[in-house]
Structures are given as C-alpha cells and as structure tokens.
C-alpha cells in the first residue's frame, strides 16, 4: 500500500451507534490530520497530531474522539453523532519540520459518513 | 490572519478550451507557501503543486500552468486544452512559515465542469 489509506470508505450509522474511522499513512510522515468536508462548506480542520501528540483541536464536539497510537495510524472514534455530522471525513499526513511549518499535506480518499 | 479567496464558485467549459482558476490570498508573513489541490468525484484531494513565496517563476507541467504574482497576491491556475477528466473541485491553500501550529488555510474551492 502506498500513500494515505482510509477505512471504511462508506459508513452509515445510527445516532446511538459507536464506530471508528481509521487512517494509515505509508509515507514516513510525522504529522496527521482529520478534516471534515460538508456539502457546500469549506474544509474544516478538526484535529492535528504531530509525533503522536495532539497539537490542535479546533473546538470539535466531544462526540468525536481522536486517537493516534503511532505516527502512521490515526483513528476517529464516533459516538452519539447527529445527522448534521454527515460529511466526508478526510485524513491527511505531512512531513512537518521542527519549525512547525506545515509541509505539503497528502490526503486519503476519505470516509463518507451518513448519520441517520 | 490568513485568508484564501476563490471567487469562482463554478466554471463550465467545453472540452479543449483553456480555463483559468483564480486564487487570491492574504497573509502578513513574508515567507509562506501556496498549494493547489484537485478533488475529483471520488473525494480524495490530490496534491498538484507547492510554491514558496520567494519563487515567483511561473511553472508549467503538461497542460497545467501556474501564475504566481506577489504584487497582486494571486496564484492562478490554468488548464490548457481541458479534458473531461479535469472535471473536479480545485482548492487553493496557503501555509505560513512563521507561526507554529498555523495550518493550511483552504479556499472554498472552484468546481470545474468540462463538457464533452
């Protein structure tokens, strides 16, 4: 496998379900990101991990819980979601420098989530 | 604060026409990076180009070319002899070098439809 992979590609869940999205990068990068892309809205950055440490949480509701066990894997745990959480969830990775400058981000194919 | 504007929400062209996608940015930094990404219907954002603020040379890659003008804070993208496969949403993005934790700022995107 190369690049950034995400599973599942499609997910339908009820509001009371618990599910997890998985992202894996095979690029040797040290930073990983979760984005939310809703219809007709700009890309929204949700979380940033750098060397497995969460460096940013952009006021994301607690029903979204990220986990980064190592620099290659990133999870997004979902529970008690709302219908408005239906969106395309994109994972990205980058080789960030020690200076903190954001290097080129490479994206996975996304998980299209539908909350009923 | 950083800001990226893509004034063209949607563009339709007929195959083989040339098309230019506009991107205007705002930043207080003297060192920054500009990017273009393509998002085909499959959903994955595909990296196209990165340009740093000190390199104002225009770049050409096959049918793609980019015109970076610091004087007007623009980084426009031209597709020559467009093809149906170019149909996608195109995003311009900006990353500042100086602020640790400063992320990519994506523009709202331009949806390009190339008609046969």
DSSP string, A68-110: EEETTEEEEEEES--GGG-EEEEEEEE---TT------EE---
- A74, exposed or middle or buried, with CB in 10 Å at 0-12, 13-18, 19+? buried
B74 vs A98, residue with greater confidence: B74
Which range is least confidently modeled, A23-32, A101-110, B45-54?
A101-110
Query: Which pLDDT belongs to residue A21?
Result: 98
Picking from B43, B96, B103, the nearest residue to A109 by CB comes out as: B43
Q: Which residue of A27, A104, A106 to mutate against B (max B Cβ within 10 Å)? A: A104
Query: Which pLDDT belongs to residue A103?
Result: 79
Picking from B99, B101, B107, the nearest residue to A56 by CB comes out as: B101
pLDDT digits (tens, 9 = 90+) for B33-82: 899 999 999 889 999 999 988 888 888 889 999 999 999 999 999 999 99
| Whether A42 and B43 lie within 8 Å, measured CB to CB | no
B88 vs A58, residue with greater confidence: B88
Strands (E), chain B: 3-5, 10-14, 19-21, 24-26, 32-39, 46-52, 59-61, 64-69, 74-79, 88-96, 105-106, 110-115
Query: Which pLDDT belongs to residue B95?
Result: 86
Pairs of residues, one from chain A and one from chain B, whose beta carbons lie less than 8 Å apart:
52
The secondary structure of residue A51, as a DSSP letter, is T
Picking from A43, A100, A106, the nearest residue to B47 by CB comes out as: A106
Give the Cα separation of A69 and B101 in Å (integer). Answer: 21
Which range is least confidently modeled, A19-28, A39-48, B12-21?
A39-48
Query: Which pLDDT belongs to residue B103?
Result: 65
**Contact at 8 Å (CB) between B93 and B4?**
yes
Nearest chain A Cα distance for residue B100, angstroms: 5
> How do beta strands B19-21 and B74-79 pair?
antiparallel
Q: How confident is the model at residue B83 (pLDDT cuts 50, 70, 90)?
A: very high
Query: Which pLDDT belongs to residue A98?
Result: 54
Give the Cα separation of B109 and B106 in Å (integer). Answer: 8
| Whether A45 and B103 lie within 8 Å, measured CB to CB | yes
Q: In a 3-state reduction of DSSP, which class is residue B70?
A: helix
Q: In a 3-state reduction of DSSP, which class is residue B82?
A: coil
B25 Cβ contact list (under 8 Å, min separation 6): B2, B3, B4, B5, B32, B34, B73, B74, B75, B92, B94
Query: Which pLDDT belongs to residue B55?
Result: 85
Query: Which pLDDT belongs to residue B18?
Result: 97
Query: Which pLDDT belongs to residue B115?
Result: 96
The secondary structure of residue B85, as a DSSP letter, is G
pLDDT, mean over chain B: 91
| Whether A100 and B99 lie within 8 Å, measured CB to CB | yes
B12-to-A4, B8, B15, B20, B40 alpha-carbon distances in Å: 31, 11, 10, 11, 15
A84 phi, psi to nearest 5 deg: -70, -5
The secondary structure of residue B30, as a DSSP letter, is S
């Amino acid at each position: 496998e190369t690049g950034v992979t995400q599973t599942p590609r499609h997910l339908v869940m009820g509001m009371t379900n618990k599910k997890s999205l998985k992202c894996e990068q095979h690029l040797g990068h040290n930073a990983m990101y979760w984005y939310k892309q809703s219809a007709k809205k700009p890309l929204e950055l949700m979380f940033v991990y750098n060397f497995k440490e969460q460096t940013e949480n952009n006021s994301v509701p607690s029903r979204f819980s990220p986990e980064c066990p190592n620099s290659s894997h990133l999870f997004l745990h979902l529970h008690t979601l709302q219908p408005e959480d239906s969106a395309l969830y994109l994972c990205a990775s980058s080789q960030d420098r020690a200076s903190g400058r954001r290097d080129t981000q490479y994206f996975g194919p996304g998980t299209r989530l539908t909350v009923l | 604060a950083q800001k990226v504007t893509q004034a063209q929400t949607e563009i339709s062209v007929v195959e083989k026409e040339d098309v230019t996608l506009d991107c205007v940015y705002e930043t207080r930094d003297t060192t920054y990076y500009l990017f273009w990404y393509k998002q085909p219907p499959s959903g994955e954002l595909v990296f196209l180009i990165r340009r740093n603020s000190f390199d104002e040379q225009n770049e050409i890659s096959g049918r793609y070319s980019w015109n970076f003008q610091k004087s007007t804070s623009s980084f426009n993208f031209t597709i020559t002899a467009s093809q149906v496969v170019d149909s996608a949403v195109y995003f311009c993005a900006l990353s500042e070098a100086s602020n640790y934790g400063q992320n990519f700022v994506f523009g709202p995107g331009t949806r390009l439809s190339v008609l046969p």
